Structure 1
């Protein structure tokens, strides 16, 4: 079992800070099925049309997470959260290309729910996970191909150090086609109720498992319930 904790450094600044967790076991990651490729492409095309009428920063989920960024002290113009970055690409008709089933579905969920979501190979995480606020020295080699500093940005760490954030994730714990167990962190909107959050996690977990097989368990962290085991 892995313990996941949200540090009071975050929840004191944002009392409504919520994290959703899905732990997948015995999954098989590979090329996305044509159905997922088609559905993701269609979703992006429809989203592109919507974004011609409503700017990215006015989308409810994007707007809410930009507010959190500001409260935590991060530069929301220089370091945009991942859901906003994905949506800005689509607004320019720079559609996402398929990578593999886990990443493709993770991106689809992020666009659909308008929130940052990270997915990690559970076997590459060492010890318990703490989600806290980055400082001057916090950073890692990211999936964007460069070293990313995470000062004033929420991030997740294990006993080896930082590995994920709503900005960009690290190479160290990236999901690959060799991954059999994964942990997915949903940086939920603070405005979501517990019922909405659990419904979202169950819907995502069910769809992910339909593609990848295996089993999943969900968990939910708030200021008043700051740690869980998965």
Structure 2
């Protein structure tokens, strides 16, 4: 499988970087108590932290809201995924456990202050590419609504769009039947390539520690707009 980004994206912001982990031969199940406890404790710490801070005090939210505006979308209406989660936590509407894939994905998003998506590759056809959504770029999201993605980065295959830093599609939602998945990290533009590589590798190691399996990583940037995933056994 090959992943690529439209070069025109870098004319808007040359520092945009996308990290991708490809996971195989893993098992998604009910989250272990360790992960549930860690996620609950992390949310409680965030809740108290949010009583004294503005959302834009978090560097990840600040950077992604700025990107939203550069792309032409309204960050007040279509919020980056981690900001939407933090708003819930600020109101003590904590995220509840779903499964070991989704729960880890949410943890990474909150921990790193970036949008992170997890996609079932059995519902993806051909190579994937990342580009800005236009007026007719839509899909049914995991929020149960038809979402318009104009001015928002989207992940697409030959069928159409299936992921974004706003909300993911129902088509590629991960379940306990998923055994082949792609995890996409919408990294902070300020992050160096070296730091980006360390982040996606650390996340991949934690994901496979919890769920088993194997992973490989790529980073897309202005210097590398496309990459092939190495074969993993």
Report deviation, 1:184. Answer: 0.3
For residue 104 of structure 1, give the secondary structure of its aligned residue in structure 2: helix
> 1:99 Cα deviation (Å)?
0.7
Deviation at residue 56 of structure 1 after TM alignment = 1.3
Provide the residue aligned with 2:143 in structure 1.
Answer: 144
- Aligned length in residues: 229
Alignment of 1:16-165 (within 5 A): 16-165=15-164
TM-score normalized with structure 1 length: 0.98
SS of structure 2 residue aligned to 1:8:
coil
The residue that corresponds to 2:192 in the other structure is 193
Larger CA deviation: 100-109 vs 54-63: 54-63
Deviations 1:50-77 (A, max 9, x none): 1111111221111011000010010110
TM-score (norm 2): 0.97
What SS is found at the alignment partner of 1:219?
strand
Give the Cα–Cα distance (whole angstroms) in 2 for the partners of residues 96 and 9 of structure 1.
36
**Structure 2 stretches of 5 or more lacking a match?**
none
Runs of 4+ in 1 over 2 A off after TM superposition: none
CA deviation after TM superposition for structure 1 residue 9, in Å: 2.7
What is the CA–CA distance in structure 2 between the aligned matches of 1:99 and 1:52, rounded to whole Å? 27
Separation (CA, whole Å) in 2 of partners of 1:150 and 1:137: 8
Task: Tell me what 2:204 maps to.
Answer: 205
* More displaced 10-residue stretch of structure 1: 67-76 or 2-11: 2-11
Task: Check conservation: 1:31, 1:99, Cα contact below 8 A.
Answer: yes
Secondary structure of the 1:209 match is: helix
3-state SS of paired residue (2:8)? helix
Unpaired stretches in structure 1, ≥5 consecutive residues:
none
Name the CA distance, whole Å, in 1 between partners of 2:217 and 2:149: 27
Q: Deviations over 1:164-208 (max 9, x none)?
A: 000000000111100001100000001001111111111100000
Give the Cα separation in 2 of the matches to 1:120 and 1:168.
12
Quote the Cα distance in structure 1 between the aligned partners of 2:145 and 2:122: 23
Structure 2: distance between partners of 1:224 and 1:61: 22
Q: Secondary structure, in 3 states, of the residue corresponding to 1:12?
A: helix
